[in-house]
Structure 1
Amino acid sequence: MKLYELTDEERINYLLDNNYINNEQADLLKSRTPLPEDLADSLSENQVGMFGLPYGFATDFTVNGKDYLVPMSIEEPSVIAAASNGAKRIRNSGGFTVSVSDHIVYGQIVLESVTDDTLDLLKQRHDDIVKFANDAHPSLFKRGGGVRSLEFHNYNDMMELEIGVDTVDAMGANIVNTILEKTSKEVAAITGCDVLCSILSNSGVGQLVTAQADVDFDQLSTKMMAGSEVAKRIVQLTKFAQVSVKRAVTHNKGIMNGVDAVVLATGNDFRAQEAAAQAFASQTGKYQPLSNWKIVDGRLHGELIMPVEIGSVGGAISSMPMAQLSLAIMKISDSRELRAVIGSVGLANNLSALRALVTTGIQAGHMSLQSKSLAVTAGAIGIEIELVAAVLNKQRDYSLDNAKKVLKELRNK
């Protein structure tokens, strides 16, 4: 049987039998209790319960020569299916090749009431400010991280100190904010200026990932269309996204479907990730697609460039059992590897969406996977869910009224 045909418990046993998880982690999945109450209370204000999202995994990812199962947390069934579908086509063509930049988080100290000599004072004390910033978080410096750049930007009556910090494997928000707030006191003493604010930037420009893949034409073909024609249509649709902002937004949404699902499953800040990705898409002044597809040497070549603003240690990542479980399933060693996997997921989801759009249309596969959810909405329970979904998929009528009608007929029998 295929993985998607197994029961939940059979899939958990598959992970256990193939050494993706241990017995304790298997028990955690079977318990359906993702967070202890005291931990939940510490992570959120006025906490009164748990809001559940389905947790599954995508298959067939080969990234830089290594195979992965990729945990994803999302309420839309077609996203995980699309990730696996795209990944398999790419794997059969050689897999993903991904390069990852250093993990630099930028922070800003903003001064007001600046004078004509403020910039000169800052330049004279450049090295002192860098040393003070590194001393503000000595444990980071010991782990090989620390300040990588310090630049000054003058905005008439305001001055910005832009500090780039290598946060190693941590997402880095708390680390950088701590460094900035401590350093700002020293800067205020040097310049005599007032500090307006000290805060990191979620631009993500220091954390870029470039994911590439070549796809053989025979991996793109359908019953009705040759793979070469599918490839040409994908390229044409990508060109349309480059001139149509409305299409570019939806193009990128398909990428973020997969990216955000992995970010959530690993306990990372998906709001920061979204902010970074959308800012990067707008960096030229016109909103653009994050990926590009073209035909090179008789194959479809895809490239995705985007910031991936995540960590593999610290904060909620280290404290949430399900986040640790996700890292264990992927056998992730550091944040660079995790960023590479996430970039690959984005490109895989993008490929699946584009291929569907230029062939059968997005609804054919999307609604067949949504049929179970529709059955539940209609009132189906237990085995009724599978039975109603099967009828809906056969009829290709995915209206709620039809789902209720099918359920009523089933119960009457």
Structure 2
Amino acid sequence: MKIYEMTDEQRRQFLLDHGYITVQQAEQLKKRQTISTDLADSLSENQIGSFSLPYGFATDFLVDGQEYVVPMVIEEPSVIAAASNAAKRIKNSGGFKTYPTSRIVYGQIVLEKITAEQLSILKDNKSKIWEFAQMAHPSLIKRGGGIVSLNFNQYPNFVEVELGIDTVDAMGANLVNTILEKTAKKISDLISGDVLCSILSNSGQGQIITVKAEIDFEQLKTSEMSGEEVAKRIVQLATFAKESVKRAVTHNKGIMNGIDAVLLATGNDFRAQEAAAHSFALESGEYQPFSDWQIVGNRLLGMLKMPIELGSVGGAIRALPMAQLSLAMMRIENSKQLQSVVGSVGLANNLSALRALVTTGIQAGHMGLQSKSLAVSAGAIGDEIELVAKELNRTKEYTIKNAENILLELRSK
């Protein structure tokens, strides 16, 4: 039986049988417990309850020689289906190869109305500022991180003290801001001047990852098109995304569908990721796609290059039980490993979207997977959901009115 045909109980058993989760974690998933009131109060202001989203998993991700099931939190079934579909095609062709860089978070201490003499004082005391910043968060040094760069950048009306900080496995927002604020006080004392602000940057410039995948033509074919023809059409659409900003935005949104879903499942800040990603897309001055596709021999070569901001420890990641379960399910040992998996999901979703667009079109598969949601919206319950969805897929008239009529007819029998 295919995983998408299983019941939720059968899927939990599948994960248990294959060693992805423990008996305790299977029970945790079965109970579908929301977070405690105390935890909700600590994570949000004016909280009055918990908002649930479906928690599923994508399969067949072979990343750097290791196979993963990937937890994803999203309300759109086609995203998980697309990720799994493309991952299997890529797995059958050798899998994903990833090339993460150092994980550096940049912070900015901003000064205004600074004199040449004050700037000279800062430059003369660079080593002292560096040492002070290094000791502002001793536990980070113990984990192998710390300050890796310190620069003074001049703007028409401002001077910026820019710190590059290796946050190791933490996303790093809180620890970077702590270091910056302590260092800002030291700088203010040195120049007897005011600091406008100190804050991390979500540019993601120090957290770029490259993900590559080669897909055999055989893995791309449809009942009506050869794999080579599909590959050529994918390359053409990828080229169009470089020339059309409107297409590039949608191209990238499809990539972020998968990335954000994994970030949510692991308790990471998807807003920071969105900011970093779209800033990177504009780096050349004109908005560009995160991925590129080319034909090399008898294979389609895909490459994704973009920042991926995340952590595997600290903050909400540690506090949220489901985030901990997600990391355990993927057997994540560090943030670079998680970064590699997340980047692979982004490239997989991109491949599925492009392949669908240049062959059958996006709506055929998308609406077919939405049929159950329509059935529920029409009022179907229990076994009715599958029956209404099946009829919707037969008629291919995906409207709430049609779903209601199908349900009415079903109940009249």
- For Structure 1 versus Structure 2, the TM-score category normalised by the shorter chain is over 0.9
Q: What are the within-5 Å matches in structure 2 for residues 54-69 of structure 1?
A: 54-69=54-69
- Alpha-carbon separation, structure 1, partners of 2:288 and 2:157: 33
- Alpha-carbon separation, structure 2, partners of 1:59 and 1:156: 52
Q: Which residue of 2 aligns with 1:377?
A: 377
- Alpha-carbon separation, structure 2, partners of 1:65 and 1:350: 21
Q: What are the within-5 Å matches in structure 2 for residues 270-281 of structure 1?
A: 270-281=270-281
Letter in 1 for 2:53: L
Q: Which residue of 2 aligns with 1:240?
A: 240
How far does residue 404 in structure 1 lie from its aligned partner after superposition?
1.0
Q: Which residue of 1 aligns with 2:335?
A: 335
How far does residue 395 in structure 1 lie from its aligned partner after superposition?
1.2
Q: Which residue of 1 aligns with 2:35?
A: 35
Residue 289 of structure 1 aligns to a residue whose secondary structure is coil
Residue 359 of structure 1 aligns to a residue whose secondary structure is coil
How far does residue 118 in structure 1 lie from its aligned partner after superposition?
2.5
Q: Which residue of 2 aligns with 1:312?
A: 312
Does 2:142 correspond to 1:142?
A: yes
- Alpha-carbon separation, structure 2, partners of 1:297 and 1:104: 37
Does 2:212 correspond to 1:249?
A: no
Letter in 1 for 2:71: P
Gap regions ≥5 residues in structure 1: none
Q: Which residue of 2 aligns with 1:321?
A: 321
Residue 340 of structure 2 aligns to a residue whose secondary structure is helix
Aligned CA-pair RMSD: 0.8
Q: Which residue of 2 aligns with 1:171?
A: 171
Does 2:3 correspond to 1:3?
A: yes
Give the aligned length.
413
TM-score (norm 1): 0.99
Residue 403 of structure 1 aligns to a residue whose secondary structure is helix
Q: What are the within-5 Å matches in structure 2 for residues 217-236 of structure 1?
A: 217-236=217-236
How far does residue 46 in structure 1 lie from its aligned partner after superposition?
1.0
How far does residue 158 in structure 1 lie from its aligned partner after superposition?
1.4
After superposition, what is the alpha-carbon deviation per residue over 1:50-98, rounded to whole angstroms, capped at 9, x for unaligned?
1010000000000000000000000000000000001000000000000
Letter in 2 for 1:69: V
* Higher mean displacement: 184-193 or 97-106: 184-193
Q: Which residue of 2 aligns with 1:201?
A: 201
* Higher mean displacement: 120-129 or 341-350: 120-129
After superposition, what is the alpha-carbon deviation per residue over 1:108-136, rounded to whole angstroms, capped at 9, x for unaligned?
00011200122221111111111100110
Checking the alignment, whether the CA contact within 8 Å between 1:28 and 1:34 is kept in structure 2 is no
Does 2:14 correspond to 1:14?
A: yes
- Alpha-carbon separation, structure 2, partners of 1:3 and 1:300: 27
Show structure 1 runs of 4+ deviating over 3 A.
Answer: none
Residue 225 of structure 2 aligns to a residue whose secondary structure is coil
Residue 117 of structure 1 aligns to a residue whose secondary structure is helix
Percent identity (aligned): 66
Gap regions ≥5 residues in structure 2: none
- Alpha-carbon separation, structure 1, partners of 2:385 and 2:157: 64
How far does residue 157 in structure 1 lie from its aligned partner after superposition?
3.0
TM-score (norm 2): 0.99
How far does residue 193 in structure 1 lie from its aligned partner after superposition?
2.2
- Alpha-carbon separation, structure 2, partners of 1:228 and 1:383: 42
Q: Which residue of 2 aligns with 1:405?
A: 405
- Alpha-carbon separation, structure 2, partners of 1:58 and 1:187: 49
Q: Which residue of 2 aligns with 1:186?
A: 186
Letter in 2 for 1:327: L
Does 2:162 correspond to 1:162?
A: yes
Residue 116 of structure 2 aligns to a residue whose secondary structure is coil
How far does residue 289 in structure 1 lie from its aligned partner after superposition?
0.4
After superposition, what is the alpha-carbon deviation per residue over 1:331-380, rounded to whole angstroms, capped at 9, x for unaligned?
11100000000000000000000000000000010000000001111111
After superposition, what is the alpha-carbon deviation per residue over 1:245-288, rounded to whole angstroms, capped at 9, x for unaligned?
00000000000000000000000000000000010001111100
